Amino acid sequence: MAKIVELPRLSDTMEEGVIASWHVKKGDKVKRGQVIAEIETDKATMEFESFDAGEVLELLVPEGEVMPIGTPIAVLGKAGEDVQAALAARGGEGKAPQGAAPHDGGAHAEASDEAVEGSRSQQGDAPAAAPAEASPGRVPDRIAASPVARRLAREHGVDLTAITGSGPHGRIVKSDVEAAAAGGVTASPTVVAASDEADERGRPFVRRPDEPQKLSQMRKAIARRMGQANAEIPHFYLTAVVDMDAAVGLREQLKAVLPVKVSYNDLVLLAAARALVTHPEVNAYWDGQTIVRRGNVHLGMAVAVDEGLIVPVIRYADQKGLLEIAEQARDLGLRGRDKQLRPEEMSGSTFTVSNLGMFGIDQFAAVINPGEGAILAVGAIADTVVPKGGELVVGKRMKMTLACDHRAMDGASGAKFLATMRDLLEKPLAMLA
């Protein structure tokens, strides 16, 4: 029997995915463990290794189409096996292949001897493998819907084929039908509003429609998590100004002697890791019932990528030195921008640092990552006129803003943490000891 390959769950939070690219085509022979596709998840683009061996009988979805976990994406088997029968046997949730009939002589002619051997014996034992003509066209798709969803759809006159299911394997569930009934999937066509808006000479302005954008998986994840954070977490903000003169001097010296380029953000990460050890009450979060102090210091660092933002994690940052942090931050940042990070490299952070200094931002307030109690937003180092010994001098100053979850900590705890960070950054040599 041919095997149906389903879209796998490649990260904890993945709900949908996209085939970024197929690495095989119909008729190819696939070994177990061979990469057959690259799949874009909410976090990264990952290589998908086949769990099964066989010939690619059909690719069921094109590149670029969003689908829920569990969607059939390909059929593997022995040459000549009936793709339609395999899909029908599965329960018909799958999308039947479009165009080509199940038997495609051209591709099969190229199959190896072994595959031909297999197909012969298969046909010998199983006359049920019917010729293509017996089942032309598409197998009618059965829509996966829960019984109560079907009943409500009947009662409200909702067309199930017009709904996207949110349940497992795309099953249409009660809430989907209720939403459709409330939102009116059967609603009347859009009414074009008559516009009399015109310029002073009576010429109508050009009207352009709003365009809902196709969301990447990452954008959906950001929208969901940040919406949740803003709705649930009572944020408060503390800003401190740091004298960066010593840090700038130290970095110039390190640049000359170290094999790795150390950035100011690396110094901030190092200081944050050290300060979190001193102030464990900031390395803590509200879990809905109580405050959980995190045992480890895993630093998230926000990295801007084309589609949005990822937060790779420097694990056990409190036990690492400046060089290790600098190397790792650089590596995570580069691979993150190339979407090459594994999901586990982007989860589990206990505190996050976000830096917009390179964009010239003086200061900003960040949204706390759910599952953490605080986030540090770091601005640019700027030449600033400051009073010194009765005179006005120019010094390097940096503003950083700590956003805290007020359920997990109070102003004083956040302030003490920021003060420790400031001390560390103002006397950075101490961190290298």
Partner 1 sequence: MTVLQIREALRAAIDEEMARDDRVFVMGEEVGHYDGAYKVTEGLLAKYGEQRVVDTPIAEAGFAGVGIGAAMAGLRPIVEFMTFNFSAVAFDQILNNAAKLRQLSNGQFTLPIVFRGPNAAAHMLSSTHSQAFESFYCGFPGVKVISVATPYDAKGLLKSAIRDDNPVLFFESEVMYSVKGEVPDEEYLIPIGKADIKRPGEGITVITWGQGVPVALAAAELAARDGLDCEVIDLRTLRPLDDEAVLASVRKTNRAVLVYHGWPYGGTGAEVSDRIQRLAFDHLDAPIERVCYDDVNMPYAENLEQLVIPSPERALEVIRKVAYYRI
Would you count residue 290 as binding partner 1 (CB under 8 A)? no
**Given the complex with partner 1, which of 150 and 315 has the nearer CB atom?**
150
SS (H, E, C) the chain: CCEEEECCCCCCCCCEEEEEEECCCCCCEECCCCEEEEEECCCCEEEEECCCCEEEEEECCCCCCEEECCCEEEEEECCCCCHHHHHHHHCCCCCCCCCCCCCCHHHHHCCCHHHHHHHHHHHHHCCCCCCHHHCCCCCCCCCCECHHHHHHHHHHCCCHHHCCCCCHHHCECHHHHHHHHHHCCCCCCCCCCCCCCECCCCCECCCCCCCCCCCCHHHHHHHHHHHHHHHHCCEEEEEEEEECHHHHHHHHHHHHHCCCCCCHHHHHHHHHHHHHHHCCCCCEEECCCCEEECCCCCEEECEEECCEEECCEECCHHHCCHHHHHHHHHHHHHHHHCCCCCHHHHCCCCEEEEECHHHCCCCCCCCCCCCCCEEEEEEEEEEEEEEECCEEEEEEEEEEEEEEECCCCCHHHHHHHHHHHHHHHHCCHHHHC
Would you count residue 233 as binding partner 1 (CB under 8 A)? no
Residues 6+ apart with CB under 8 A from 249: none
CB 155, min distance to partner 1, A: 10
CB 81, min distance to partner 1, A: 30
Would you count residue 162 as binding partner 1 (CB under 8 A)? no
CB 146, min distance to partner 1, A: 4
By CB under 8 A, the count of residues binding partner 1 is 16
Out of 168, 183, 234, 348, name the contact with partner 1 by CB under 8 A.
168
Residues 6+ apart with CB under 8 A from 70: 6, 7, 168, 169, 170
Would you count residue 147 as binding partner 1 (CB under 8 A)? yes
**Given the complex with partner 1, which of 54 and 68 has the nearer CB atom?**
68
Would you count residue 179 as binding partner 1 (CB under 8 A)? no
User: Which of these segments, 42-50, 106-114, 165-173, 226-234, binds partner 1 (CB under 8 A)?
Assistant: 165-173
**Given the complex with partner 1, which of 33 and 168 has the nearer CB atom?**
168
Would you count residue 347 as binding partner 1 (CB under 8 A)? no
Would you count residue 142 as binding partner 1 (CB under 8 A)? no
Out of 34, 122, 135, 166, name the contact with partner 1 by CB under 8 A.
166
Out of 167, 280, 343, 395, name the contact with partner 1 by CB under 8 A.
167
Identity of the residue numbered 343: P
CB 178, min distance to partner 1, A: 11
Out of 31, 32, 120, 151, name the contact with partner 1 by CB under 8 A.
151
SS (H, E, C) 257-290: HCCCCCCHHHHHHHHHHHHHHHCCCCCEEECCCC
Out of 4, 149, 158, 368, name the contact with partner 1 by CB under 8 A.
149
Would you count residue 226 as binding partner 1 (CB under 8 A)? no
Out of 209, 288, 360, 387, name the contact with partner 1 by CB under 8 A.
288
Would you count residue 148 as binding partner 1 (CB under 8 A)? yes
Would you count residue 239 as binding partner 1 (CB under 8 A)? no
Q: Tell me, residue by residue from 6 to 45, as one string, x for binding to partner 1 by CB under 8 A and - for no binding.
A: ------xx-x------------------------------
CB 109, min distance to partner 1, A: 44
User: Which of these segments, 23-31, 146-154, 253-261, 400-408, binds partner 1 (CB under 8 A)?
Assistant: 146-154
Active site (catalytic) residues:
406
Would you count residue 146 as binding partner 1 (CB under 8 A)? yes
CB 310, min distance to partner 1, A: 19
- Residues in touch with partner 1 (CB under 8 A): 12-13, 15, 146-151, 166-168, 173-174, 288-289
